[in-house]
Amino acid sequence: MNFWMMREAAALMTSTKTNSDKTLVVVTGPTGSGKTSLSIALAGHLQTEIVSADARQFYREMQIGTAAPTPDELARVKHHFVGQLSIHDYYNVSLYEEQALALLDKLFQQHDFVLLTGGSGLYIDAVCRGFDDLPPVDAEIRQQVYRVYYEGGLDALRLWLKQVDPEFYSQADLANPNRIKRAIEVFLTTGRKFSELRTKKTNPRPFSVKTIVADRPRHELFDRINTRVDQMVADGLIEEAISFFRMKHLNALNTVGYKELFDWLAGTCTLSHAIEKIKTNTRRYAKRQITWFKRYPDAQWMHPEDLEGIISLLVEKK
């Protein structure tokens, strides 16, 4: 082996070792658990940046109802994938996986740790594990599925999904019409279940993953959710929903916090009932998130205010 070949081999070994020493710290947990505050504190300690895995916070117009990071929080730590899209933009988890991995490759050139923060389990899985490439969907099929949703609502989609893919139905976020529609579209396009096409094994990543789940007692979490909804209303959630009402058909707006207020604006319920429904549906969503995160075998479930313990865990396992 000549000098140049030896130098290239040494450089390759050095590069491989450097990549394997990089750690993606996943900070997740149910809505209202305190992920944002914990992530900012950890990022400050680790002197790194935050990549968002909260699908609702991708949209710049949706501020109050998504509990997006405040300008002060964004100024304290650099965030990525927050407000980069418009509610009119098309986006999916495959695009996110591609873009997030490209970003992480750049960030790991400057940092040993990077934080991936959010409660959207499917997006976390895409970055940490990956998914098989899913086929493009014909416009007619997409319109067929949308028509069922438009005419029959979320219940009609749920029933359809349960019939064609009961396995994914048992795992999916049933409050998210986008997830349900995508699974049905894939089935109609391929004749195969979405649950079968999803990756069954972890794809290799050039970094290690450490997962922290922000864990609070159930009564504490639910109290925080109720209080946060009241604060959102005080901060202008109703006014935000009114500004979106004429665009309520957009996929990005078919989400907890807005759809209940759209019902009120359509005259099908009172305002007080709509607000109570937001609290109820948010609590239900939190339960489904907890069920999803229990699938992560190596995750550490810790109280988000135990910053010292979490830092010690990360440094020790590093």
Q: What is the pLDDT of residues 130-189, one digit of tens each?
A: 866 666 777 788 889 998 998 999 999 999 999 999 999 988 888 888 889 989 998 888
**Cβ contacts of 310 within 8 Å, gap of 6 or more:** 38, 42, 212, 300, 302
Q: What is the pLDDT of residues 242-266, one digit of tens each?
A: 999 999 988 889 899 999 999 999 9
12 — pLDDT class (breaks 50, 70, 90): very low
Q: What is the mean pLDDT of the chain?
A: 88
Residue 317: its pLDDT value, please?
A: 54
CA-wise closest residue to 211 among 112, 317, 109, 140: 317
Residue 19: its pLDDT value, please?
A: 52
Check pLDDT > 90 for residue 191.
Answer: no
Q: Which fold has domain 139-197?
A: Histone, subunit A (1.10.20)
Q: What is the DSSP letter of 133?
A: P
Higher pLDDT, 182 or 17: 182
Average pLDDT, stretch 123-133?
83
pTM, full prediction? 0.78
Other Cβ atoms within 10 Å of 312 Cβ, number: 11
Is residue 91 packed enough to be buried (19+ CB in 10 Å), middle (13-18) or exposed (0-12)? middle
- Exposure string of 193-220, with b = 16+ CB inside 10 Å and e = fewer, is bbbebbeeeeeebebebbbbbbbbeeee
Indicate the domain borders of the chain.
21-131+200-317, 139-197
Check pLDDT > 90 for residue 29.
Answer: yes
Average pLDDT, stretch 308-313?
94
Phi first, then psi, for residue 128 (nearest 5°) are -85, -30
Supply 60's token pair: 């710049």
Residue 132: its pLDDT value, please?
A: 64
Residue 200: its pLDDT value, please?
A: 57
Q: Residue 302 is inside which H or E element, if any?
A: strand 300-302
Check pLDDT > 80 for residue 296.
Answer: yes
Q: Percentage of residues in the chain with pLDDT exceeding 70? A: 90
Q: What's the CATH code, domain 21-131+200-317? A: 3.40.50.300
